[in-house]
Every structure is written in structure tokens, then in C-alpha cells.
Structure 1
Amino acid sequence: MKRPNILRQNLGLLVAFDALITEGNATKAAERLSLGQPAVSHLLGRLREIFSDRLFDRTRDGLVPTRRARELHAKLVPHLKGLEALFVQDNSFDPISTERVFRLVVSDMVQVYFIPGLLRAAESAAPGISFVTVPIDSNLVTEHIERDEVDLAINHCPDPAPWIRTCPLFEVEYMCWYNPACGEAPSTIDRFMARPQVSVTYRGPRPVPLLTPCTSRGSRAR
């Protein structure tokens, strides 16, 4: 039997498990965790997969833990208390004294327009902080955050997992520049899509955000 790599498991799952078994109600657990109920349901699904047990039965009185869930929780509580004590000692974030590397997923445009200003701000406000940009397909951001391989994504991230906190920063409009040497500029979407297209992805064929509005109307790229 292959043992799971605990370092790849999200400790937040165990915190969610504790909230579910303590509250006995998904809605109350979500409020306690400051998450939406869909996010908590997603976490519960992952917990069931990891422990190969349904963990809870839904009744009119709420969520009733299974025998396996009660056994797991009894073992978990001392460790959670130990972790809480560890973080309570000093959970403040002092940018002046902090020494840390933040791993960022950013698009080419973000690197050009945002990173220089970010570096200038960090140089005085947080001199011990450094940043590493990670080239990852935006469609794969969720799984890399889940594996704790990146800390932050400033990118086009379609359909993020419900437990990932997101915030829109800005909106952009795309404009198509056409080289006259290639012939007459296409006057319709269908003619534009009929031209040869090149898509650059990091792993396998992926939807191209720029072409999504076109393909949703039935047009197909070559």
C-alpha cells in the first residue's frame, strides 16, 4: 500500500474536518472557516477521498460523524492544539524583518507592468523579501496552489477552485493588429478564425482566452 505524502496534503483540510465535526453543520462550519458552503463541500469531498470513508452522514439534525471520523478526530485534536500554540507564539507579519521568498504566477503583461513597481516597494518596505516568478499555464494554477508550489497568482485564472480566495484587479481589452503584408484584414470573426492561429501553452492543448468568445459563437480556429 502506497503511503500518502503528508507534505502534499493541505493542513487546511484537517482544520475544515475539525470544524465540520465540531459544528455538526456544513453552514456553521463554513462560517467558522470564513468560507463559502461550496468550498467546504469541496474540502469534505477531498477528505472522503483521502481517508476512503464517507466520514459524515447527513440527517435532519445535521452531520453525524462516522466511527472512522470520530477515531480520526480524537487523534487529530492534540496535534491541532499544538499547531495553534505554535502559531499563537508569534503570528504577526513584520515585513521589515521577514525573510521569505514568494513564488508568483504572473503573465508576461503583469511582469512588465507590475513587477518593477512591486520590487521598488518591497526594497524599502520589506528588504528581506524576494520574489520568484513561476511559468505555469493559467489553467493549472489551482493544482499548483493546492500543492503549495506557488503562493500567489496574478493572471487569467478561469474557474478557480471554490476554496481559493480571488480578487479582480483590473480588466483589459484586446485589440487585433494585422500585418498588411499578410493580405486584407479579416472583417468578421469567422474570417479571422479562418486564418492560421498559433497557441502557446505549457502543457498540452488548452483553451486560449483570447479566442474563447469566438469559439463560444461556433467559430473554430485553424
Structure 2
Amino acid sequence: MNNLRGLDLNLLLTLDALLSEQNVTRAAARLHLSQPSVSVQLAKLRESLGDPLLLPGPRGMRPTARAEALREPLRQALQALDHAIASPQPFDPGSAKITWRIAASDYSEYSVLLPALDALRKAAPACRLALQEVPSRRLSAAMEQDKLDLAIFTRTGAPPELRSRLLFKERYRLVCRHDHPDLQHAPTLAQFCQLEHVIVSPDGGGFFGNTDEALAAIGLSRKVVLSVPHFSFVCAVLTRTDMVALLPERLVQDNPALKIVDAPIEIDGFDKMMLWPERVHRDPAHQWLREFIASALKEE
């Protein structure tokens, strides 16, 4: 690269045109420049390369041996450079071979990725998904280090420096097994507090959450008897016991073994988002993936 220092790369376009046309007037027309401008640039090229490059001939100009040796390598180099900086080609999912690395909790896997998975496999059969659980505090670093391409996350706690798109708004519902003996009807607040509750604690071992905060604000508490790190296990627990849980509606709405009951207390839901780094924001393949996931949810 030392040979390029101090050389205006635009001069190489002029040299390519001159070597092709072997005529200053025609080269100027090809470059949309005036003839005097091309003559000035030819003088600069001669000085930079230490060679006259083009000499007067009977039918225009004829290249020197140095110019003749430059002709083909220069043409190939300019074509490669033009290709490198050209606008990216439209993404073709049918022929693409990409591994997308996505951070998602078990709930996000079920509610966001599962609805899109079958259609995604058909649309992009040679592409792969690598699903990971990544804490919110590590999302930005993982994406910055090119270890992660996309995250399915809640708005709360989402790193503000990441790009985002709202997928849907979720709400919590009181859930139990279909033939729960104490929940044939919606419970009163007192009955609700006496039920045995399961809580999802992603960080592990927690027995106090948003529901408990809301109850504490009115001087009440509930019986939380089981704390688990994943939503998927809660559903299995509810079908086999008399425990209950406040769960995101999308997780349980299609499960015939479970029943949704109106809770006597309102708990704020959450926004489910897609998050991604700036480095892939304009990448055609990544744009296609984001749009595909969002469209799959709209078609449910």
C-alpha cells in the first residue's frame, strides 16, 4: 500500500480511460471532464509514476511499455474496487447460508420464534438459528463483539444503544390446571392469596415479584411455594398440581390442559421487542430476518 500514498486514486480512473481510448479527447468525454482537465491529470500521473505513459502517435497516443504493463492489472483492480463498494445485492433467502445467533428466553422462544420457525425453514432452508440465553447486562457487549445478531427481549432493561422494534404487548393471566378444584370461577382477592403460587425468577431463587409488590401496596401477601428459572417448567407443574401462576397469555393460550382465570388484581404486562446492533441495521439479510419474524407474528 505504500505505493498508493500521495497518489490521488481518481487519477487511476483517468489512466484507465486513457489506456483504453489512447486519445485525450475521447478519454475526457468518457470521464465527463474537459480535455484540459484530463491533460493536467495525465501530467500528474507522469510525475507520480515516473514515466511518460502515453506518447504521441500517428493515430492518437500509444502507451509506453510501463503503461502497457499497467493496463490489465489496473482494469482488474478498478473492477474489484467498484464491486467492493457497490450497493449490496438483494438478499436471496432461498440460496443463503447464514447462521443467525439470537438471544431469547424460553418464553421468547415459544411466543416469538416458534410461530416463525416452520415458515422460516421453508423460506431459508440452508440458514441456521443458534438460540442462546444472554443476560441483559451482556447484550450490548455480545453484539458489539459480533457474538450475537438479534435479541428477543422486553422493553424494560433493554440497552438503549441498541436498535429496537416492538413485536407485541403482552399481559399476565392467572393460570391453573383445567380441572383445578378451587378455581371453577374467578377467585376473590382473599382466595387468590390463599392459593399456592409458582413464580418465575430468571436470576434464580426469588420469591417476590411484580404481583407481590402490588399486593404489598394494599397490605396483602400471597403464598409463593415454588420458584423456578424458566416458564416452560411452570406449565408442566400446573398440569400436575393444584398450584397456580400468573403467566404471559401467549405462553398458555393454546394449551388445552390449562385454564385461564380472571385474576382479582391487575398486573402490568410488558412490551416484547426485537433488539439488534447498529452494525447490521442496514444489512439486507438481517433486515429480511427481522421483517420475517415480525410478519409471522402478525399472521398468527
TM-score, scaled to structure 1? 0.43
Higher strand share: 2
TM-score, scaled to structure 2? 0.34
- Indicate the structure whose relative CO is greater, using CA pairs within 8 Å and at least 6 residues apart: 2
